[in-house]
Amino acid sequence: MMSKTKIFLGFIDKTAVYMFTLTNLNGMTAEVTNFGATIISITVPDSKGKFEDVVLGCDKLENYLSQKSYFGATIGRFSNRIEDSKFEVDGIEYKLAKNDGENHLHGGTKGFDKVVWQAELLNEKSSESLELSYLSKDGEEGYPGNLTVKVKYTLTEENQLKIDYYAICDKDTVVNLTNHSYFNLSGQDSGNILKHKVMINANEFTVNDKNSIPTGEIRTVKGTPMDFTKLTEIGKNISSSYEQITFGKGYDHNWVLDISGKSPEKAAEVYDEETGRVMEVFTTKPGIQFYSGNFLDGSEIGKGGVHYEKRSGLCLETQYFPNSIKHKHFPSPILRAGEEYEHTTIYKFSTRI
């Protein structure tokens, strides 16, 4: 049955935190909490109809508070890195929290992943939705303007988890929202993702320096280990001596998507031969960060007590390019006062033998 449930988890910052479960007619479920607007679990069938949870996450609210890997979380105000933790809009400089050496990562020391959002279950005819909203105050983590942000999760009957992002600000600012779910299509506790195959709809990627900051160079993937124009096993080139791979300790880069940005178009696909599970990613955003879980080291304790080891999940974070505020030829992440930021990303699940 199509249904929604709400379970109280505890209080954080004096605000109630819940877990919401969306279920569709096929039995697919998505659990989301208003702490960090975080996806806790997604269960989908394999080619034999067996359901498994395919995202990494935690059992307890306190583990979500302490985890440093951004499991399932909404990232903001700015996903990924801003060099030197500062930026300018029209000659005015803003200084941001430094939380990655000299650089700013994933919104700062207390980004959108560590705050409590307001939640509302929506009654829509043919799908199950949860809308989460948050007011990021002027100056929070150094960003200008009071930003109202909304993230709506919708579970459809086509086994899609659709995420609609919305933001509006009273001053000129930068916005780059994404979701940081780690997927493992064999199941969240099944080991590494090196045998998963990935396709990314991109002929180019943004080149990083050794601190994972885009230098401004856009390079063709052709003839490099960054070529995912066809479904390719992640493990195939992950130990290559190609400088970009050594800088990232694996894949941790932004690809320049070959899509128009007008309505959600296919950006990536993941295929797990073992279970037949397929995940397609559709988006309106210009870039996608493919991160192969290189920094997981067994220290994070996940669902069912599993220790998430290196590469036990992969992220496909749709976004404006990292550091895009520093490079004029990258799509601009500036949101002018009163303008509306709207983006959609869809994770669609199916099977193939």
The binding track of 67-96 with respect to ligand GLA, each residue x by CB under 6 A or -, is --xx---------x----------------
Please state the closest distance from residue 232 (CB atom) to ligand GLA, in A.
19
Give dist(CA 77, CA 162) in Å, integer.
Answer: 20
> Which element (helix H / strand E) includes 66?
helix 61-66
Q: Is 254 in the site for ligand GLA (CB under 6 A)?
A: no
CB of 296 to ligand GLA, least distance (A): 8
Q: Residue 65 and residue 114: Cα distance in Å, rounded?
A: 7
**Which region, judged by CB under 6 A, interacts with ligand GLA, from 26-34, 153-161, 287-295, 303-311?**
287-295
Could you tell me which residues are beta bridge partners of residue 245?
A: none
Select 18 or 347, whichever has its Cβ closest to ligand GLA: 347
324 sits near ligand GLA (criterion: CB under 6 A): no
Q: How many CB atoms lie within 10 A of CB 49?
A: 8
Return the C-alpha torsion angle 93, 112, 329, 200, nearest 10.
160
Q: Does 252 bind ligand GLA (CB under 6 A)?
A: yes
Cβ at position 113, least distance to ligand GLA in Å: 10
As measured in angstroms, the least distance from the Cβ of 317 to ligand GLA is: 6
Among 104, 106, 180, 343, the active-site one is: 180
Q: Which of 23, 41, 206, 212 binds ligand GLA (CB under 6 A)?
A: 212
By the rule CB under 6 A, 289 interacts with ligand GLA: yes
212-221 long-range Cβ contacts below 8 angstroms, 24+ apart: 212/81, 212/247, 212/248, 212/252, 212/322, 213/81, 213/83, 213/103, 213/322, 213/323, 214/254, 214/321, 214/322, 214/323, 214/324, 214/327, 214/330, 216/326, 216/327, 216/329, 216/330, 218/256, 218/329, 221/255
End-to-end Cα distance, the chain: 27
Cβ neighbors of 91 (< 8 A, separation 6 or more) are none
Q: Which of 251, 291, 320, 347 binds ligand GLA (CB under 6 A)?
A: 291
Residue nearest to ligand GLA (CB): 291
Q: Is 180 a catalytic residue?
A: yes
Nearest CA to 266 out of 154, 347, 160 is that of 347
- Residue 31 annotated to the active site: no
Instruction: Considering only the stretches 8-16, 26-34, 160-168, 289-297, report the one whose residues sit in contact with ligand GLA under the rule CB under 6 A.
Output: 289-297
Binding status of residue 155 toward ligand GLA by CB under 6 A? no
For 25, the token pair is 């007619």
Per CB under 6 A, the segment of 11-19, 232-240, 288-296, 323-331 that binds ligand GLA is: 288-296
What amino acid positions are annotated as catalytic residues?
Answer: 180, 317
The footprint of ligand GLA (CB under 6 A) covers: 69-70, 80, 105, 212, 252, 289, 291, 295, 315
